Amino acid sequence: MSKTPVKIVETVLRDGHQSLAATRMRTADMLPMLEQLDEVGYFSLEAWGGATFDSCLRFLNEDPWERLRTIKKHLKKTPIQMLLRGQNVLGYNHYADDVVTEFVKRSVANGVGVIRLFDALNDVRNLETAMKAAKEAGAHVQGSFVYTISPFHNTESFVKMAKDLVERGADSICIKDMAGLLAPYTAYDLVTALKKEIKVPIDLHTHYTSGMASMTYLKAIEAGVDIVDCSLSPFAMGSSQPPTEAIVATLKGQERDTGLDLNKLYAVADHFRTVKKQVAEHFKLNTAIDIDTKVLSFQIPGGMLSNLLNQLKEQGMADKFPELIEEMPKVRAELGYPPLVTPTSQIVGSMAAFNVMLGRYKVVPREIKDLARGKYGRTPAPIDPAIKDLIIAGEKIIDYRPADDIPPQMDSLRQKLAEEGYPKASTEDVLSYAVFPDVALKFFEASRQKS
């Protein structure tokens, strides 16, 4: 076993509040603690990407690029980490290579030091452009595979993907377990296999959703994992990560002692305890999110279960919820076992809801047709041929990298923004508009001068 200290990615500024407080933490809530966080000695501070970009523009009336620059001003030692969905950037569709490249370049120029990249289908082709741009920009590139369970996902398939990512230049590998499905002894075996085959650091990211996360970390640490993702206690547990303080305390005096000072963490945690209360009151949020062991049976993250129930309630069909729970795994299997992470979780969930409400595949959303014909990339397993014939009979199949079909977009986006009254828009504003056009325009109307 490795005797090196376990490193920690602190997620309180991104995934912690995304998981428990709908990504509503404001930059002003972070500012008083940035210098103290910088002194802790973390591997990185995850503070950007994921849903923060959308949330800044849509709900907080903040410029996400300005948030990034502000955080960077206060962090002299610790790299800022972001989460990027490969060819999807931070949106839900694939973008042209020039948009992806420019987004990565501007992210690094504005302060990002570590870029964690993932693709919802684990299709490495969808990560190539972003990885290349991140390497060229000088960032630490963390390639991820999304952990999920199916007859087509196993240790061998995950190790193979990790090797593919390292060959493409990944500086570290992340096991991204977004639903809290990774069991402790499975984690031990997976990390052991990865450490044998690849020579870059391994980072484990999980969620407490199933209640196993801290045990999973401990077994992964015994197997030699290099880095684990944690959140300070006010924004830990529930559907978030294990608490930073508890992991640091657990390893104190042991071979893999993190070397972090608990007293430094307590003072920062006290601040975020107050922030959590204020955010919950201001936005009327329930931040007391329980663990949900049902995720182990259905592999459906808890937040998604409540969304699906609401969908049925709106149609007066709440009594069909048990049917929906049974339908989800069937649809997932028929559609090639995609991992249930943005955007595939929403796509599979809506198809299951339509099936229960209207009859199986009687109404098929465009996103399902796109998934079936390869527009999002290669599914982990082949799509059931009978279902494929039913939903995309005669439509063009995409068996190459989907973004190869998308012509450059930056110039036309600049032109559109000029037509909206912003001919001098910065590259950052063009990129905000590229990813969230309507939301960005609304934000610009309130915060930019038209010319």
Position 152 confidence tier, pLDDT thresholds 50, 70, 90: very high
Which CATH fold would you assign to the domain 408-449? Answer: Arc Repressor Mutant, subunit A (1.10.10)
CATH 1.10.10 segments of the chain: 408-449
Can you give the pLDDT at residue 297?
Answer: 76
Number of residues assigned to the chain? 451
Structure tokens at 126: 């969808």
Residue 253 has pLDDT above 70, yes or no: yes
- What is the pLDDT confidence band of residue 1, given thresholds at 50, 70 and 90? low
User: What CATH fold (topology level) applies to the domain 300-402?
Assistant: Cyclin A; domain 1 (1.10.472)
**Mean pLDDT, the chain, integer:** 94
How does pLDDT run across 182-197, given as a tens digit for each residue? Answer: 999 999 999 999 999 9
Helix (H) or strand (E) holding 373: helix 366-373
Q: For position 303, what pLDDT does the model report?
A: 62
Nearest to 199 by CA among 229, 161, 170, 156: 170
What is the rounded average pLDDT of the residues 120-141? 97
pLDDT in tens, 393-412: 889 999 999 999 999 999 99
Alpha helices in 206-301 (DSSP H): 213-222, 244-251, 262-283, 295-298
Residue range 288-305: average pLDDT? 74
The per-residue pLDDT for range 5-57, each reduced to its tens digit, is 999 999 999 999 999 998 999 999 999 999 999 999 999 999 999 999 999 99
Q: Band the pLDDT of 385: cuts 50, 70, 90.
A: very high
Tell me what the mean pLDDT of segment 64-76 comes to: 98
Alpha-carbon distance of 66 to 62, in angstroms, equals 8
Higher pLDDT, 302 or 52: 52
Question: CB–CB of 208/240 below 8 Å?
Answer: yes
Q: What CATH code is assigned to 7-283?
A: 3.20.20.70
pLDDT tens figures, 195-217:
999 999 999 999 999 999 999 99
Contact 241, 230 (CB under 8 A): yes
